[in-house]
Amino acid sequence: MLLTTIFVAISLSMDAFSLALAYGTFDLPISYNKKISCSVGIFHFVMPLLGMSVKLFLNEFSGISFDFLPSIIYLYLGVTFLLELREEQKIIPLTSFKDIFLFSLAVSLDSFSVGIALTEFSFLSPLLFSFFSFSFTYIGFKMGKKLYQYLGKIAILLGGIFFLLLALF
């Protein structure tokens, strides 16, 4: 279970990592890299907790089991990741609070879905999601100047493939 959670945390971090690689090419000041990485980490902690809360609410008040949701969500995330490979992403500067907030929200929405898919309410998964997303975002900024064109697309591809595999099993 822990190993699966770590793999999910790494997969959830891939979109933030790939975007941080892209933004790393802008040579943002180190203070922005730290602010953005912290913000992404916080969002990757909060969003799965919200997802878990929504699932508990639905289970309690509807009387319907939502055990089928994880496969559907993982399938959706995998396909979404793979479709992102076809799109050219616009790069906007990340210099204001609003930009950092929107960046963090955008890369953590998949964590909300995974929170719904989690089988039990626990703080371990969100903590791991937060740790890995913070770390991968920060590393992405550091590596951005040299590796964006090579690893940016591969990171998204690997994240998408992993979620598709989770959907199947």
pLDDT of residue 137: 95
Name the band, by pLDDT with cuts 50, 70 and 90, for residue 166. Answer: low
pLDDT of residue 70: 63
What phi and psi values does residue 60 have, to the nearest 5 degrees? -70, -40
Name the band, by pLDDT with cuts 50, 70 and 90, for residue 10. Answer: very high
pLDDT of residue 129: 95
pLDDT of residue 155: 63
Q: What is the pLDDT of residues 73-122, one digit of tens each?
A: 667 767 776 776 666 555 556 778 888 888 898 888 889 888 888 877 78
Q: What is the pLDDT of residues 123-151, one digit of tens each?
A: 899 999 999 999 999 998 888 766 655 66
| Plot region of 167 (φ>0 → left; ψ -120 to 50 → alpha; else → beta) | alpha
For the ranges 10-14, 27-31, 113-117, 155-159, the lowest mean pLDDT is seen at 155-159
Percent share of the chain, pLDDT over 70 = 74
Greater model confidence, 133 or 53: 133
What is the secondary structure of the chain as a DSSP string?
Answer: -HHHHHHHHHHHHHHHHHHHHHHHTT---HHHHHHHHHHHHHHHHHHHHHHHHHHHHHHHHH----TTHHHHHHHHHHHHHHHHTTSPPP-----SHHHHHHHHHHHHHHHHHHHHH-SS--SHHHHHHHHHHHHHHHHHHHHHHHHHHHHHHHHHHHHHHHHHHHHH-
pLDDT surpassing 60 at residue 51 = yes
Name the band, by pLDDT with cuts 50, 70 and 90, for residue 66. Answer: low
